[in-house]
Amino acid sequence: MRNQLIDVRPVAGGIGAEIFGPDLSEDLSEEMVAAVRSALLEHCVIFFRDQKISDVDLARFGRQFGELAPLPPHRQFPGKFPELLVVDKKPEDKLNFGWEWHSDTSHLEVPSLGSILVAKIVPPTGGDTFFANQYLAYDSLSDGMKKMLSRMRAVHSNGRILRTLAEGKTPPRGSESMSADWAEMWATHPVVRTHPETGRKALYVNEMHTERFEDMTVDESQPLLQFLYEHSTRPELTCRFQWEEGSIAFWDNRCAQHLALNDYPGHRRLMHRVQVKGTAPE
């Protein structure tokens, strides 16, 4: 669909669109920013190709959608500004960043609105990123399940990530009680959140961060959580993005989950990312 300023071409039935028109190395007009925002709100993730942008351009583009979220000091990159995340998997590295389905920083009280990722170096094949539409995940639940989940909250943490990094491998699914021992940060959020801009309801649990339901044990929570993880990432809710140097993905963490595929051993993949600050999920 062409909306005068940009050409928006959906890439799958459930989520994602490629955007043609804007040059993100330039200051965008208000109308252009509004057109890009509207495409993001409609498609949950939008993609741009062949963009030649510096880190400063990336930050300027991000700031047109809100304040950027600075990284914790240990994640900041020397010589770069505090909001720039460098995602660098070297040929000898085994783990990759974002290896499981997740919504960015859901272990924080105020998780990010969205993330903007630009590809600097890509492997010859592989290294794609999957996205899943969490509005459709919610919409396709039964009325009974929607009603039950609407009263529930879930506890999210960074324990599974820290445990994986410490042990060099991903703990088995459902071992969140062990992961909880590793966690440094927790936040509790509604299981179904209402998107502050579209007013639509989206499922908001993810296998990388969610430990359990509030007021329930890990063992009690895991069967339903495992069902929701499968349900929320069913193939028909997803799209798969194949990166080229200069590709950009901008996803809305309030209604999309994503997963970075780790299928390029022996090759480097270098990406730069900024995150736009969000609001506490409601």
Interface with ligand SIN (CB under 6 A): 87, 97-98, 115, 117, 129, 258, 260, 271, 273
Sorted by sequence, the CB contacts under 8 Å of residue 59 that are 6+ apart come out as: 68, 81, 83, 84, 274
Which is catalytic among the residues 107, 212, 254, 258? 258
Least separation in angstroms between residue 185's CB and ligand SIN is: 17
Q: Quick check: is 156 catalytic?
A: no
Least separation in angstroms between residue 77's CB and ligand SIN is: 15
Least separation in angstroms between residue 242's CB and ligand SIN is: 11
Q: Quick check: is 231 catalytic?
A: no
Output the six-digit token pair for 232.
């929320």
- Sign for the pseudo-dihedral over CA of 190, 230, 118, 6: negative
Q: How far apart are CA 203 and CA 109, in angstroms?
A: 17
Q: How far apart are CA 240 and CA 259, in angstroms?
A: 10
Question: Strands of 85-89's sheet, edge to edge?
Answer: 7-10, 17-20, 45-48, 248-252, 112-121, 269-277, 85-89
Q: Which residue is nearest to ligand SIN (CB)?
A: 98
Q: Quick check: is 273 catalytic?
A: yes
Least separation in angstroms between residue 253's CB and ligand SIN is: 10
Which is catalytic among the residues 102, 160, 163, 272? 102
DSSP SS3 for 113: strand
Q: Quick check: is 258 catalytic?
A: yes
| Count of CB atoms situated within 10 Å of the CB of 223 | 10
Catalytic (active-site) positions: 102, 104, 258, 273
